[in-house]
């Protein structure tokens, strides 16, 4: 079993960085390779897409890697909307058209939902009990 005191003396102290010098800088040679290789990679990919060059799986992987290093990976965005509105944020219900009987039923249902953990807006599910 490990000696606790031996482990504690090698742990980082509060406020101490695990990498005080930061990320190592790229060498000038590496930076130049990325610069020129990134442009060449984009040119190669354009030629493959246009059909003027035959695709080589390994060259395509290398070209994508270099292009990503030079220009960064493209960001992906997700659209959380749906055509029927089912994924749209819930709005407060319009209670002005309810009859007195319907309003009382609604209040009872809201009370029951509140007791089992749903919020007033009904947008959060109850926590699982353990």
State how far the Cα of 91 lies from the Cα of 106, in Å rounded to an integer: 16
Q: What is the pLDDT of residues 30-85, one digit of tens each?
A: 888 878 887 888 888 888 888 888 888 888 888 888 888 777 777 777 766 777 76
Assessment of whether the complete model's pTM goes beyond 0.75 = no
- DSSP state, 9? T
Q: For 21, phi and psi rounded to 5 degrees? A: -85, -5
Return the pLDDT at 120: 53
Provide the CB-side half-sphere exposure for 56 (13 A, CA): 7
The residue length of the chain stands at 130
Q: Which two tokens stand for residue 57?
A: 């799986």
Q: What is the pLDDT of residues 86-130, one digit of tens each?
A: 666 666 777 888 888 888 888 878 777 777 666 555 444 445 444
Domain boundaries, the chain: 27-73, 96-130
Residue 59 CB partners (closer than 8 Å, separation 6+): 44
Return the pLDDT at 22: 81
């Amino acid at each position: 079993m490990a000696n606790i005191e031996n482990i504690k003396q090698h742990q980082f102290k509060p406020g101490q960085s695990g990498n005080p010098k930061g990320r190592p800088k790229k060498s000038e040679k590496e930076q130049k390779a990325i610069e020129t290789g990134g442009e060449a990679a984009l040119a190669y990919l354009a030629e493959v897409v246009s059909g003027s060059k035959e695709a080589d799986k390994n060259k395509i992987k290398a070209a994508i890697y270099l292009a990503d290093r030079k220009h960064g990976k493209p960001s992906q965005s997700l659209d959380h909307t749906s055509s029927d509105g089912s994924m749209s944020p819930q709005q407060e219900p319009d209670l002005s058209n309810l009859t007195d009987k319907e309003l009382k039923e609604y209040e009872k249902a809201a009370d029951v939902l509140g007791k089992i953990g749903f919020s007033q807006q009904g947008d959060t599910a109850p926590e699982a009990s353990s």
